[in-house]
Chain A
Amino acid sequence: MSSMNRREFLQILAAASAAGFALDSRLAWAGGKGDAFYDLPRFGNVHLMHFTDCHAQLLPLYFREPSVNLGIGGAAGRAPHLVGEHLLKAFGIKPGGIEAHAFTYLNFEKAAKTYGKVGGFAHLATLVKRLRAGRPNALLLDGGDTWQGSATALWSKGQDMVDACKLLGVDMMSAHWEFTLGDKRVLEIVEKDLKGRTEFLAQNVKTADFGDKVFEPYAMREMNGVKVAVVGQAFPYTPIANPRWMIPEWTFGIQDDNMQKTVDEARAKGAQVVVLLSHNGMDVDLKMASRVTGIDAILGGHTHDGVPRPVVVSNARGKTLVTNAGSNGKFLGVLDFDVKGGRISDFRYKLLPIFSGLLPADAEMNALIDKVRAPHKAKLEEKLAVSEGLLYRRGNFNGSWDQLILDAIMEVQGADIGFSPGFRWGTTILPGQAITFEHLMDQTAISYPQATLTEMKGEQIKTILEDVGDNLFNPDPYYQQGGDMVRVGGLEYTCDPNEKIGKRIQDMRLGGKPLDADKTYKVAGWAPVAEGARGEPVWDVVARYLRDKKTIAPRKLNQPKLVAMKGNAGIG
């Protein structure tokens, strides 16, 4: 479906309104003033725009928010572990309207057709320009996961995104998946492309031998008479969740002590506002905000949570706002502070969904995107199959896109069991839409894409599931890694998230029979983190499967039976 223009969009809205759809009257959509959605009056004198985890999505897309995002222990029933109606209720969002569509999975297919695609750098560029016009000296911050996630980003080693971000005018960034381009490439971009234009900030990346800093920990700017410091925090568990061999000389970690020192140093140098641009993930940010003092706001990412309003966290010396700005280019967060006499007196925050149909494409950015895609157009647009059902990825345990990948790698490789990583990026396909090679790359474009077939004992399979389960459900956020559960094909199991590691995964069955701890099974997977792994790129394996099938029937999701999760606000 091509991106519709504003007039078509408003016509559809008018039709929807006549048909009795509940539209958000506060935003005056039905009144034909779609643009009013983005008329955000200037507040105060310090202005920060924030996007994160766009995963190299230059074009408008569909993205379904999760229907399963469980909160365990202290995180239960609180943002960001609220889905669907629980989220709407907690944030006072009217059901059925455009905001409800932006922030939840509810009624997704119908609403996606009504409101159209989201994101797209050309549309984001228009919004950024508009906000900049009303907010002098505003800073644009990119939380990272920008140089990975699409075919063109992979093939250009991140260059398409670097160029797009320079054109967009990103002032500062932090990182995670950027590191999967390898240490040399990251340094090359930082030293050649970003120098003098974009600060690459990471207080928690050090050399593994002497603990020397690799990147600047923070940057200072004077904005409308106020000194503002932005500290960067890269994803602390990059060398664990992604291949360590790609960044062998660097060490990461959360590093509260060094964060405190960095904040104190910025304050000592006169910063009146200190903001953390974080790739910790929201649960880690919430804990960090309670331990580290002197941070006014954490602009967070990694966990891809579209959280409409900041969570206010108290600590020993004050309060910290914690936000998370979603993923895939779907949102732009706008944070305004009013600083009087050297102190913050008030703030405003809005997480603006980018509806491509409501924001005209910026011509200059459009031209850049066209240029990037031109050499690969035929390959990108190859139609592999048509999907009869909705294909999405997000959710703690499985998504229909992952199920399709599992079905493909298991069938093609003749495996008993399939594992697919719990990545949270990847676009959504509506029923009836063609699956192009580009869509497939949206799910799989990584620098370690090998499809693998491994013989594993039942005991080993259980160890892996327990290990990943603990990364997700450990009640202490500092032991979480921010991805979802490994997607499992073929094997049925029960999961008790409240249990401790070793006891969460129960009753594993293959074809109805209990998994034998000592028996060897063939396990298909992809994205091995070990150096020297061999295998065909997973996109080639899945593309073959799709071309062969031509039509993809709605997937039957393999999901675990959950124990003691009834009533959890993280289940829709």
Chain B
Amino acid sequence: MEMNPARRTVLRGAGSLGALSALVLAGVLKPTAVYAADWNKAAFEAKDTPAALKGLGAGSPADSKDLVLKVPDIAENGAVVPVDVVSNIPNTTSIAILVDKNPTALTCLYAFTNGALPEVSARIKMGQTSLVRAVAKAGDKYFVAQKECKVTVGGCGG
């Protein structure tokens, strides 16, 4: 059993909120910088994926193998579905995660400046089985990777 006890104890002691505040205080995350990236109302309030893509200015993004999306085949818990996105596309400046069947499709939008590595790990909420998409912006072009994630009733197995 190796569970990195130190890391876990630190975070538990601080409480996750506390730990995040610490990061903010240390200047790792700047709230102003986060919000400064313009709240894209049109994209975030769009009811479906085409409208959200339009709001992002992404139109019809091209499929890319250099955009790696990791989503479970079946969600263990629809309330917190782990999604990882890594963009190997040069000059990636933003990554968005969309869930087609959610009431509002766009779940999050990350901006990368000053050569920050375009890697994100998020927990998203899903009400039902849906296609999950990652959309990356590089230069003035948009790229997409997608995968279905099943949300089931559960039970009755094996």
Q: Is B73 interfacial (CB 8 A cutoff)?
A: yes
Q: Tell yes or no: A560 within 8 A of B by CB.
A: no
Q: Which A residues touch B76, using CB under 8 A?
A: 237, 239-240, 244, 251-253
Check A424 against B158 for contact (C-beta < 8 Å). Answer: yes
CB neighbours (8 Å) of A479 from chain B are: 73-74, 150
Q: Are A244 and B152 in contact (CB under 8 A)?
A: no
Q: Are A210 and B7 in contact (CB under 8 A)?
A: yes
Best-surrounded residue of B2, B76, B153, B155 (most CB of chain A within 10 A)? B155
Does A481 count as interface, using CB distance less than 8 angstroms?
Answer: yes
Which residues of A sit under 8 angstroms from B153, Cβ to Cβ? 463-464, 467-468
Contact A529 B82, beta carbon cutoff 8 Å: no
Residues A207 and B157 in contact, CB atoms below 8 Å apart? no
CA distance A254 to B147 in the complex (A): 15
Taking A253-B73, A479-B74 as contacts, is the C-beta distance between A235 and B158 under 8 angstroms? Answer: yes
Q: How far is the CA of A479 from the CA of B152 in the complex (A)?
A: 10
CB A278 to nearest CB in B, in angstroms, measures 13
**B65-112, CB < 8 A from A:** 70, 72-77, 82
User: Which residues of A, 248-262, contact B by the 8 Å Cβ criterion?
Assistant: 251-254, 257
Docked complex: A321-350 residues within 8 A CB-CB of B: none
Q: How many pairs of residues, A versus B, come closer than 8 Å at their CB atoms?
A: 88
> A214-B1, A470-B150 are known contacts; what are 10 more A-B pairs with Cβ within 8 Å?
A212-B4, A240-B76, A241-B155, A241-B158, A242-B155, A242-B158, A244-B77, A463-B153, A467-B152, A501-B129
- Asked whether, in the complex, the Cβ of A212 is within 8 Å of the Cβ of B158, the reply is no
Looking at the complex, which one of B2, B75, B155 makes contact with A212 (CB distance below 8 Å)? B2
Picked from B2, B3, B72, B156, the residue with its CB within 8 Å of the CB of A471 is B156
Query: In the bound complex, how far is the Cα of B156 from the Cα of A424, in angstroms?
Result: 10
* A-contact bits for B127-158, CB 8 A (1 contact / 0 none): 00100000000000000000000101111111
Residues of chain A lying within 8 A (CB to CB) of residue B41:
none
Give the contacting residue for B2; candidates A187, A213, A481; CB below 8 A: A213
Q: Mark A451-481, 1 if CB is under 8 A from B, else 0.
A: 0000000000001100110110000001101
Q: For B3, B4, B75, which residue has the most chain A Cβ atoms within 10 angstroms?
A: B3
Q: Are A529 and B155 in contact, with the CB atoms below 8 A?
A: yes
| A120: interface (CB < 8 Å) | no
Q: Which residues of B contact A483 (CB under 8 A)?
A: 156-158
Taking CB atoms, residues of chain B closer than 8 Å to A422 are: 156-157
CB distance from A244 to the nearest CB of B (A): 6
- A486–B3 contact, CB under 8 A? no
Cβ of B157 and Cβ of A482 under 8 Å apart?
Answer: yes
For B157, the chain A residues whose CB sits under 8 A away are: 237, 240-242, 421-422, 471, 481-483
Give 27 pairs: A residue, B residue, CB < 8 Å, sorted on A. A177-B158, A191-B1, A210-B4, A210-B8, A212-B3, A212-B4, A214-B1, A215-B1, A237-B74, A237-B157, A239-B77, A240-B75, A240-B154, A242-B155, A251-B76, A251-B82, A253-B73, A421-B157, A422-B156, A463-B153, A468-B153, A471-B152, A481-B157, A483-B156, A483-B157, A528-B155, A529-B154
Judged by a CB distance under 8 angstroms, whether A423 is at the interface is yes
Q: In the complex, which residue of chain A has the Cβ closest to the Cβ of B150?
A: A479
A430 within 8 A of B: no
Main secondary structure of the interface of A (DSSP, over half): loop
Q: Which of under 10, 10 to 19, 20 to 34, or 35 or more describes the interface residues of B?
A: 20 to 34
* A481-B3 CB under 8 A given contacts A253-B73, A467-B152: no
Residue of B with least CB distance to A474: B150
Within 8 A of B (CB), among A151-195: 176-177, 187, 191
Closest residue to A464 on the B side, CB-wise?
B153
**Across-interface contacts of A464 in B (CB, < 8 A):** 153
Q: Does A527 contact B (CB under 8 A)?
A: yes
Give the complex CA separation of A533 and B82 in angstroms. 27
Q: Determine if A482 and B73 form an interchain contact, defined as CB atoms under 8 angstroms apart.
A: no
Residue from B76, B129, B158 whose CB has the most chain A CB atoms within 10 Å: B158
| Residue A123, interface by CB 8 Å | no
Q: Is A302 an interface residue, CB under 8 A from the partner? A: yes
**Which residues of the partner chain A approach B75 to less than 8 Å between Cβ atoms?**
240
The answer to whether B156 touches A241 (Cβ under 8 A) is yes
Per-residue interface assignment for chain B, residues 14 to 32, with 1 indicating a CB less than 8 Å from any chain A CB and 0 otherwise: 0000000000000000000
Knowing A210-B8, A212-B3, A423-B158, the reply to whether A240 touches B152 (Cβ < 8 A) is yes
Shortest Cβ distance from residue A219 to the other chain B in the assembled complex, whole angstroms: 15
Kindly state the separation between the CA atoms of A315 and B48 in the bound complex, as whole angstroms.
39
By beta carbon, the residue of chain A nearest B80 is A208
